């Protein structure tokens, strides 16, 4: 191969490497991004140290498990902002309260099936009583914001402490756990039934 041919091959290889690198960057920015669970606020749904893929969101729905920057955190080039992972409990227009360990969403009392595994291991009330207005100053979730809580209700810094988060700040939705291999799984998804009175697992 001539010198020019070698140069051509090197340039061609560098272009392909650049295209692949750009493709990965675009994929992470707009489609899916890896994330490591840090902490116990989402047990038993997600465990500390598990590695997962989060899908970039178009629409945020109730009961999605979402990743977002820590509210009130400062962004620094030396120390990246912490990320939280919680479950969306309320979307704009919703009223939220907890009474006697039951979610009351828009005036309807309903069970939360995504808490069943952990509640089975807990004595007494799992979620303390509160009304949305008591902790946020407003009775309904405002437009453009959501109310989130960790599934490990007794060990979660969430909307009960920092109030609402902006929907536009949400980075992605927890979708698939890929590490450790023994825990590899798609995360269960939940939604309201047609009558809007029961939380059911999505198909």
76 is catalytic: no
Q: Catalytic residue among 82, 86, 128, 182, which?
A: 86
Closest CA to 60 of 23, 29, 87: 87
193-to-62, 123, 198 alpha-carbon distances in Å: 12, 29, 6
The DSSP secondary-structure symbol of 122 reads -
Measured distance CA(132)–CA(145) in Å, rounded: 13
Centroid of chain to Cα 186: 14
Centroid of chain to Cα 136: 21
Q: Catalytic residue among 4, 12, 25, 41, which?
A: 41
86 is catalytic: yes
Catalytic residues: 41, 86
């Amino acid at each position: 191969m001539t010198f020019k041919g070698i140069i051509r091959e090197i340039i061609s290889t560098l272009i392909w490497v650049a295209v692949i690198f750009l493709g990965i960057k675009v994929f992470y920015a707009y489609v899916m991004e890896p994330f490591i669970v840090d902490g116990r606020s989402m047990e038993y749904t997600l465990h500390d140290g598990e590695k997962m893929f989060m899908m970039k969101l178009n629409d945020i729905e109730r009961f999605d498990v979402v990743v977002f920057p820590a509210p009130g955190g400062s962004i620094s080039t030396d120390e990246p902002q912490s990320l939280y992972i919680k479950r969306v409990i309320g979307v704009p227009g919703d009223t939220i309260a907890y009474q006697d360990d039951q979610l009351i969403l828009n005036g309807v009392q309903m069970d939360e099936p995504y808490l069943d595994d952990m509640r089975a291991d807990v004595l007494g009330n799992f979620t303390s009583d509160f009304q949305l207005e008591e902790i946020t100053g407003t009775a309904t979730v405002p437009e453009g914001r959501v109310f989130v809580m960790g599934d490990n209700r007794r060990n979660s810094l969430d909307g009960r402490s920092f109030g609402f988060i902006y929907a536009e700040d949400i980075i992605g939705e927890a979708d698939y756990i890929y590490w450790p291999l023994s825990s590899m799984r798609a995360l269960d998804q939940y939604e309201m039934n047609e009558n809007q009175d029961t939380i059911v697992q999505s198909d």
